[in-house]
Amino acid sequence: MSVLIARGIEKSFGERRVLRGCDLMVAPGERVGLVGPNGCGKSTLLRIIAGTMEAEFGTVERPAHTSLLDQNPELPGQTVGEAADDALAWHRELLADYETALHDGDMDRAGALQTRIDQVGWSLDHTVDTLLDRLGAPPRERLVSELSGGEERRVGLARALLGSPDVLLLDEPTNHLDSDTAEWLQEWLMASRGAVVIVTHDRYLLEAVATRIVEVDDGLCVSYDGSYGDYLVERAERRAQMERAEDSTLAFLAREAEWASRSPAARSTKQKARLDRLSALQARRPIKREETFELQLSTGQKAGRTLLEIRDLKKGYGDRVLFEGLELSLGPGQRLGILGPNGCGKSTLLRLITGTELPDKGELLRGGRVQLAVLDQERSGLNLDDTVSEAAAGGATHVTLGGNNVHVAGFLRRFLFGREMLEQYVRSLSGGERARLLLARLLLQGCNLLLLDEPTNDLDLQTLRVLEEALLSFDGAVVLVTHDRAFMDRVCTQVLAFEDTGEVVAYGSRMQHVKALARRRSAERQEKKQAKKAAPQAPAAPAAPRVKLTFKEKQELDALPAQIEVLEDEKVSIEGQLADPALYKDRLSDVPVLTARLDAIPAQLAALYARWEALEAQG
């Protein structure tokens, strides 16, 4: 049984055929991760499934109740509160149907509706406010017309979750969320009873949530059972088989074409079947070869030992102090990740480093040879009315790369912009394509101090991997603000956390911060327990006994540190193997398997730490 069935979906934009016969079926409660490169049609397919866009061919059977979080959500009403309350129209209809059934004396229907209302709740006003607050949405009285893009998306996500749909469609839901909120969303989706189809670049989210991965590949949907880690391995094997088969077919075509051109017998009636087979093979659709690109950001220029130094920095707005007494020193090869909730001052710190804002107190010093480059959340620096070629080269036909003149078409081809896209306007590009264009400009610009504010927003998983590799080999310093936990874990050499206590604390890694946070919250719970015990107790009705850890759960808690240590050792071992040139020479087929395993381990570690915290809290 399926709650969602899409058959033969086709869609084109101009001469570009994006979907050419997609089939997708989703079972009740299933959580599907929809993946593929930027521009392959993932968002288009979601909109067609939701009914907000028409397909040229194909059919969609969807339940009556479907919610979509679009990348650019349209919010009804004039205020945030009105937009959020509008998402509960289904609940008001449910109550109205119940009243009608009672009025009509239809007790069977009234009983069924009452059961449903008991499940979801008779009043959801508190739920709306709680959800808006948990997602960091603006206050209810804020005008929709005044919201930023990130604020619109957070309100849109709240609306999608409040819809209580049979099928929830999410397009990049973690964009503009901080790491803590992304983890909360992950837990919410795992506990959800409805079906979910999600497009996301967040690999931890995919690994934890998805029960099946569907890849949009050359306009078709290819399904892989299992987690994101399983998908990486199975996909590598499938691509290898397809390419071997394609190579064999091409070799056979070359032999047959040579025979047909030189053999007089080929023109005889007797050989017609062989010629027909040759024509059919030539007319077939070849497999789409995977395209990738390389990004080398290093300038090769020598820089001093210190590229950035911050001394006793303070910044606030009005009576609100974001941070004070901040000390920081960054040199070549160091990559600093910045953690904290939305509004804590992460982006403000980046603006202080660029000099677009001034501190209230303290010094911010850059080295004499520092070349600064910035990739901000808004993807600014691109003129929407420029063509792709103009945006990259300023109208010139050639660019200078590594001291050599390179034609702009050849340069942009390295970033997957074909000749047909050179005259396309920037405003028509997807978010991921704009990010790729900005990365191309960063390569031309050259830098040794790189500031990245949410660089992973709108990037596909392939481009994400390319950016990771570029940063890992970068010989300058990086300051990175990102909600992408996997990206931060792989790239950053240290972390600066804006704590909920108001402090800014340095850690060696994000996981070190997660452990410290778990310990602090555990200590706070213990303090509350002790304070409650010490406080005089008023007579009260007997409370239900608190459920303690079972013997099995105690065993599980005791075993968690060893399990975490095993995974961390495995991670170090795989990283060592992938860094060994001999692997690529002697065991090349092992590379995709090892890479897939390396991508899967951080999500498993995060799950173990979360379980550890949950069991400690219970015990």
Which sign, positive or negative, has the C-alpha torsion 604, 610, 616, 619?
negative
Output the pLDDT for position 268: 57
| Cα separation, 382 vs 433, whole angstroms | 12
For the chain, residues with pLDDT lower than 70 are 64, 249-250, 252-253, 255-287, 289-293, 299-304, 402, 500-502, 536-549, 551, 579-581, 584-585, 588-589, 591-592, 596, 617-619
Q: Quick one: pLDDT at residue 238? A: 80
Burial 475-489 (b: 16+ CB within 10 A, else e): ebbbbbbbbbbbbbb
Listed in order, strand segments (DSSP E) in 101-181 are 167-171
335 bridge partner residues:
478
**Which ranges in 446-509 belong to alpha helices (H)?**
461-472, 485-491
Give the position of tokens 């996500």. 157
pLDDT tens per residue across span 75-91: 988 999 999 999 888 88
615: left (phi over 0), alpha (psi -120 to 50) or beta: alpha
- Separation CA 149–CA 430 (nearest Å): 15
> How far is the C-alpha of 299 from the C-alpha of 59, rounded, in Å?
52
CB atoms within 10 A of CB 414: 15
d(CA 147, CA 137): 10
- Looking up tokens 């078709």 gives 220
- CA-CA distance, 42 to 51, in Å (whole number)? 14
Chain centroid to CA 3: 25
Structural domains of the chain ordered from first start: 1-65+166-185+193-231 (3.40.50.300), 308-512 (3.40.50.300), 547-618 (1.10.287.380)
HSE toward the beta carbon, residue 394, CA cutoff 13 A: 6
Please report the pLDDT score of residue 262 as a whole number. 65
**414, 470 in Cβ contact below 8 A?**
no
Residue 343 has a CB neighbour count (10 Å cut-off) of 13
Strands 308-317 and 361-366: antiparallel
- The confidence score (pLDDT) of residue 496 equals 92
Is the C-alpha dihedral spanning 276, 277, 279, 280 positive or negative?
positive
Q: Identify which of 367, 63, 383 has the alpha carbon closest to the alpha carbon of residue 194.
A: 63
Partners of 504 in beta bridges: 498
In this structure, the chain runs to a length of 619
Q: Tens of pLDDT along 19-49?
A: 999 999 999 989 999 998 887 889 999 999 9
pTM here?
Answer: 0.71
User: Reduced to 3 states, what is the DSSP secondary structure of residue 503?
Assistant: coil
Coil, helix or strand at residue 278: helix
pLDDT of residue 544: 44
Q: Determine phi and psi for 80, rounding to 5 degrees.
A: -60, -40
Q: Distance of CA 29 to CAs 37, 45, 131, Å? A: 26, 20, 22
| Closest CA relative to residue 482, chosen from 450, 505, 521, 447 | 450
